[in-house]
Chains A and B, each alone.
Chain A
């Protein structure tokens, strides 16, 4: 009897140990072991889905560690959406990693307001600023201070399948009228003209942004968002109207509102759709990615979003912007090392990004000096000629307006909102800010 009692006691002690050790496990990780300093670094390029990016990051970290003995970089990798979720959760408990990825403008603002990111102007003034393409670091500015070092620069062309175009005797459209003819021809031939995954919503926003740009001119959207203009401008309404006309003409794949961007992309990759409007981050898939058949990659071309007759914008105005950038946490215990790491990262990244991972970096690239697939050279040259770069709408807007915008985009494509109401509800959301 008594012995049984002891063994029960013993079991209880065991349970307690497990509970207590579970509680203390978290706090040990943050400590510095001995004299070694640890920089926690979080990024969103897992080896599985972004192999080349991941390799460059590893390489940069190795270089950095060998140059800075006694500093260790601890890496955590998450996939895009998970990364965003984790950032939100970590920031609400004020436990951001020392260095991590952020997006520009609207995404950045709440972090800056919450004083979670450190200003990086001292790093930029060190001569680093001249290395960036103009207009890229500005997207990370809040009240005159820069809080992120951009790594990517993306623009969104319309990719098309040359084979499908040839089979249907189609030319690359330069005006919107020609573009609508292309859509009509493809549709009547039973080919899905455009692949669109609008469950993600920002994908549809790209189409809307281009139409608004081509109709109402390059600065209209920026002005509406910074409140020096209005979203009830007639060009916003007619752009919305054009979207619904495209939908009615069956320009997009069936059920686009329920499909993710990846699902839509696979339709384009499998030659089930002729066109796909997406950022230049997809270029590797159309040039160097060995996992995609060579035959398909050779068939991909791109064209600029066509101009609209009577519109106020030229064909060299792009929708795009810097993608991810690096931030340094304000309450980092190893802030100096972290800043040094961020600077080192940006410089090394610029050297390798476009040649190895096919990412157009926010730092300047000399096309004469690097060996690249033709599609890249063309895009980089077009980028040099660009007349305007409009930052992605959902990035420009604050998160609650962006949410309204994205939901309205889905309803617009789904034909559930009238173009007039679409513009009006944007205006209301922006006014409330």
Chain B
């Protein structure tokens, strides 16, 4: 067994299918996107090489920076929401009754397809028949905003379901990490007279710091390239008020037939994600001494 698995040819045989797929579907398209980004191209017909012209256009494109701002705002709120998820997981990982059931309830939104979540929240936000405005009117608010149609509210109206959608995922990760902490540590701390709050902040959180770091990267990068709910719920509107980088890229390439520029936006988005990931890793380095 071990003999067969340590054979180089066998290793190659086993990793080849996945490697082939990931190369063909991820890495080759990335390289191609970078290439198309240097072209003036309508998606069909001839391409014209324009060098970095698309990038200089991108730098001056205020609509792009507006959508980038929205993306970063979404990332900020996603990261802030992680604190909430962590709190919930800390409580769930403690010995409370029904923790199992509650954990499953939190997980359910994860099982729904994005489009269904979008449809659900569109019904909630419906300006005259929606659940939310019904409640607001009952509470005596006379002129509630028409959420998805209101440029001042639309972004927040979308951030809420995005956070709701991923709650179960992060809670599950934190919960699993917390369950991995040896029981003895907590018992020892208790004997030493530590309060539950101290146990949480001094023992549990530092011990799962590595997991927290990963979730921060996941949340930030996931937010920066976020697309689905926004595409279904508003399409980036009204007039770009909920446009994010990915939907902007889509609109440029597929609605305006500007595949060259669309590719530039896509490639730039990739670069931003890489830089941000690198920065987060740098900023959250845990010095060896702190680790134990």
Residues of A within 8 A of B (CB): 1, 4-5, 8-9, 12, 15-16, 19, 85, 88, 91-92, 94, 110-111, 113-116, 198-199, 201, 253-259, 263, 399-400, 403, 407-408, 410-411, 414, 416
Contacts and interface: CB of A to CB of B under 8 A. Distances in A.
Interface residues of B, number: 39
Interface string B1-27: 101110000100110110011000000
Interface in B213-251: 234-235, 237-240, 251
Contacts of A253: 127-128
A258 B5 CA distance: 58
Contacts of B43: 88, 91-92, 110, 114
Given A114-B44, A258-B127, A410 B258 contact: no
Interface stretch (B90-98, B110-118, B148-156): B148-156
Contact of A257 (B238, B240, B259): B238
Contact of A255 (B20, B149, B239): B149
B237 A88 contact: no
A403 B255 contact: yes
A9 B13 CA distance: 9
A1 B4 CA distance: 10
A16 B17 contact: yes
Given A5-B3, A259-B126, A410-B238, 15 more contacts: A9-B4, A12-B14, A16-B16, A91-B43, A91-B44, A114-B42, A115-B45, A199-B149, A254-B128, A254-B146, A255-B128, A255-B150, A257-B150, A259-B149, A416-B151
Given A5-B1, A253-B128, A411-B239, A12 B13 contact: yes
B149 A85 contact: no
A317 to B, nearest CB: 29
Contacts of A88: 43, 254, 257
Main secondary structure of the interface of A (DSSP, over half): helix
B2 to A, nearest CB: 9
Nearest to A8: B4
B151 A414 contact: yes
B136 to A, nearest CB: 13
Contact of A410 (B126, B237, B256): B237
B112 to A, nearest CB: 21
Interface string B164-196: 000000000000000000000000000000000
A329 to B, nearest CB: 12
Nearest to A1: B1
B92 to A, nearest CB: 36
Contacts of B16: 16
B147 interface: yes
A263 B45 CA distance: 38
Given A88-B43, A92-B259, A414-B239, A199 B234 contact: yes
A407 B1 contact: no
